[in-house]
Structure 1
Amino acid sequence: MICRLNCGACCIAPSISSAIPGMPDGKAAGERCIQLDESNLCLLFGKAERPKVCADFGAEEWVCGTTREEALLILTDLENNTH
């Protein structure tokens, strides 16, 4: 699956415990990553400073659903049920 343009759900819904440029303590679940631009694209995509957890994430329908809203619900549910 190719990432859905203007989605960014994976950069908002889950918590990230590793450092992100501009967010040295990572980010909380539901918090928008500082590296997400106005079009919901990662400013670090393809760069060495992108956190490994982000680089390892791959868009798949079971995680991303069929809409941005569905992706946010699925990822939020996964976050809530894995802590």
Structure 2
Amino acid sequence: LHQRGVYIKLGQIASTRPDIIPKPYLKKFAQLQDGVPAQSGEYARQMIEQAFGKPLEEIFSEFNPQPVGAATIGQAHEARLK
């Protein structure tokens, strides 16, 4: 799943090409337009801590592990900086 964003983006692009993609596949690929699954809050924590090189609690006074939205290459969480 490390490269899942790339595969999801390719599926999204494929969903817009009825000239080259068979109809049954188009329907499945179309689900990727607005049905991208979110990563877990724990995964988000790990990525943030890896990027900043410190524990999440040193960066944020509040962090909601439940994402408010997810997209192809990222997701959003409610948080309050210290």
TM-score of the aligned structures, taking structure 1 as reference length? 0.25
For CA contacts below 8 A with separation 6 or more, give which structure has more relative contact order. Answer: 1
